[in-house]
């Protein structure tokens, strides 16, 4: 069984090599959780869709060096994603200017008028993370508009699932909520 202690972090040079030959703007997405002093990262190219280039692990103290190295030859933005240690990904966001993709498709982005969600302008409102009473549905809402959501039936079948598990599972939504709140100049309430 592979554990976080078995994982070796990529060097900034290795991440830069993975971006070689890519002329599109890049998003360097970092997970919300750490594993043995590392983040899981995803490197994505912004084209008509968001295209994954590489994933791996990077030492916490190397993130700024990676962003600096990438920015020498690319337009690069810092972002986040919903990936954990060994999970797939569905949601990726760019912090500035803010944009959100689901499965590589643009869902929301800031405009001069505020936020555009699924092609519709949305008024700026407080953001809130809502979790259903059975913990299976988690939604990030801007007023009444759902920006991102996750449904996971695991809390109903695992008798050991507790608040610690829930906190880990919604960490990416918390991080996303803070990023949207900063971009829009509004408030965010987590769980």
Vertex 93: Cα angle to 91 and 95 (nearest 5): 160
Average pLDDT over residues 100-123: 93
In this predicted structure, the answer to whether residue 140 has a pLDDT above a threshold of 80 is yes
Q: Among the three residues 63, 89, 115, which one is the final residue of a domain in this structure?
A: 89
pTM, rounded to two decimals: 0.91
Q: Is 94 inside a domain boundary?
A: no
Structural domain boundaries, residue 127: 104-191
Q: Is 62 inside a domain boundary?
A: yes
Average pLDDT over residues 10-16: 88
Are 56 and 108 part of one and the same domain? Answer: no
In this predicted structure, the answer to whether residue 85 has a pLDDT above a threshold of 90 is no
Are 111 and 187 part of one and the same domain? Answer: yes
Q: Among the three residues 42, 61, 89, which one is the final residue of a domain in this structure?
A: 89
Question: For position 190, what pLDDT does the model report?
Answer: 92
* DSSP element (H, E) containing 58: strand 50-59
Average pLDDT over residues 162-191: 93
Could you tell me the CATH number of the domain that includes residue 43? 3.10.20
Are 84 and 145 part of one and the same domain? Answer: no
- Tell me the three state secondary structure of residue 157: helix
Q: Is 16 inside a domain boundary?
A: yes
Are 42 and 115 part of one and the same domain? Answer: no
Question: For position 2, what pLDDT does the model report?
Answer: 55
- Tell me the three state secondary structure of residue 176: helix
CA 143 to CA 122: how far, in whole Å? 9
> Across all residues in the chain, what is the average pLDDT?
91
In this predicted structure, the answer to whether residue 69 has a pLDDT above a threshold of 60 is yes
């Amino acid at each position: 069984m592979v554990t976080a202690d078995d994982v070796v972090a990529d060097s900034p040079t290795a991440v830069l090599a993975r971006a070689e030959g890519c002329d599109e703007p890049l998003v360097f997405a970092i997970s919300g959780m750490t594993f043995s002093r590392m983040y899981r990262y995803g490197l994505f190219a912004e084209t008509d869709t968001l295209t994954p280039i590489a994933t791996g692990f990077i030492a916490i103290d190397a993130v700024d060096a990676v962003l600096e190295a990438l920015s020498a030859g690319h337009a690069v933005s810092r972002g986040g994603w919903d990936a954990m240690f060994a999970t797939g990904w569905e949601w990726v966001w760019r912090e500035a200017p803010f944009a959100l993709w689901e499965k590589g498709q643009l869902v929301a982005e800031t405009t001069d008028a505020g936020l555009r969600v699924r092609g519709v302008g949305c008024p700026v409102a407080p953001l809130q993370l809502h979790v259903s009473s059975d913990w299976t549905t988690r939604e990030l809402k801007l007023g009444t508009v759902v920006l991102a959501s996750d449904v996971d039936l695991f809390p109903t079948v695992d008798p050991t699932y507790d608040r610690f598990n829930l906190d880990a599972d919604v960490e990416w939504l918390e991080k996303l909520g803070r990023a949207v709140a900063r971009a829009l100049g509004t408030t965010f309430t987590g769980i």
